[in-house]
Amino acid sequence: MHKYFGIPFFLFTIWLVFQATFKFSAPLTIWIQTFFSFLSFQLGNFLTSHGVSKWFVSLFTEGIIGGVGGVLVFVPSIAILFFLISVLEDTGYMSRVAFIMDRLMHKLGLHGKAFIPLIIGFGCNVPGVMATRTLETKQERLLTILMSPFISCSARLPVYVLFVGIFFTKHQGIIIASLYTLSIVVTILMGLLFKKLFSKGLSTELLIELPPYRWPTLKNLLLHIWEKVGAFIKKAGSIILAFSVIIWLLASLPIGVPYASLESLAGTIGQTIAPVFVPLGFDNWQSGVALTFGLVAKEVIVSTFATLHGATGAVTDSDLLSLALRQYFTPLSAYSFLVFVLLYSPCVATLAVIKKETGSYKWVLFVIANTLLVAYITALIIYQGGKLIGLN
């Protein structure tokens, strides 16, 4: 890779990857949306015709199908994205990206070995944090662990896809590429800060074998896709399903109040949280609920919105969810929301691994507080700055 044009070419490559992801996944997404809409309609009619109460009909059509289906529609996007990333990895290109980024990190005063766990974090922060075990010193491991939560893991991708499909239809690739670029920039800046605060005299070099460029094998590509998509579907059938039901219950109780209304338990929780986000441009209570449950798993943010609005998997301009989000957000506040999702507290699984690797709840609490603060300040700057220059 060229020492001057390597990084710009890498950013251009990432933009192409996202553009291709949206272009080729769109037809498949529409088919899945249609399937879940049909399934919800037919199941609702079947249960109603057999005398099942409206409460249980709502549980299955709005809670389970709406919540889980609202996430599963992104399977094509995730499959295509990881297929393209696997191509870059198997050809040997990503090893060269790691090498050239190492040189940049050294110029910024950062050590090089941390880049490998951070690259892993783009798939999932949990193995990214665990990969810090390969680093040589305790200081190196701690510094990299503290940087890892700012890496945009794949669990955030469904949130990005949902919002760019509604608010940035003509610039989907650019918007998502900008989020990943922001993730890298914030990670580097926080690394500089953490180095000054917690580490002294780190000057480790990155030793990496650069494999020759080669054609990827179809078998390896399919295995990579199966691993990522399988994990995503497994999470949809467990964590996301469970929290879709919980969110549906909160939106349905107390009995007798309108579904997902201000009088519901979900509305009460959301109204309590919502004022905090007014300066960031999204003061609707639904966002407060979604971000709260997103602490468990970032995909739950999508299922929360889908469940609260009775969506059945169809995330298009004509459905209830799209119409509702357009009422809650402008393009500027939607981008502010995505930035907050990008940077705020990692999921509970990542926090558990951080506790295990550092051996202290002190660092877990530090990560939660620090990521929330950085996310809030960054989203605030983007939203208020955007308003000042007339982007609202």
Model confidence over 162-174: pLDDT tens digits? 999 999 998 999 9
How far apart, in whole angstroms, are the C-alpha atoms of residue 315 and residue 58?
Answer: 19
Domain ranges of the chain: 6-388
Q: Long-range contacts for 231-238 (Cβ within 8 Å, ≥24 apart)? A: 232/75, 232/78, 232/154, 232/299, 233/72, 233/75, 235/297, 235/299, 236/68, 236/71, 236/72, 236/299, 237/68
Contact present, 388 and 167 (Cβ < 8 Å): no
Query: Under 8 Å CB-to-CB from 239, ≥6 apart: which residues?
Result: 296, 297, 299, 300
- Spatial CA neighbour of 315 closest among 161, 176, 174: 161
The CB-side HSE value for 150 (13 A sphere, CA atoms) comes to 26
Model confidence over 66-78: pLDDT tens digits? 888 888 888 998 8
Q: Helix count (H) and strand count (E) of the chain? A: 19, 0
Q: Which has the minimum average pLDDT: 94-98, 149-153, 270-274?
A: 94-98
How far apart, in whole angstroms, are the C-alpha atoms of residue 50 and residue 44?
Answer: 10
Model confidence over 331-341: pLDDT tens digits? 999 999 999 99
- pLDDT value at position 277? 97
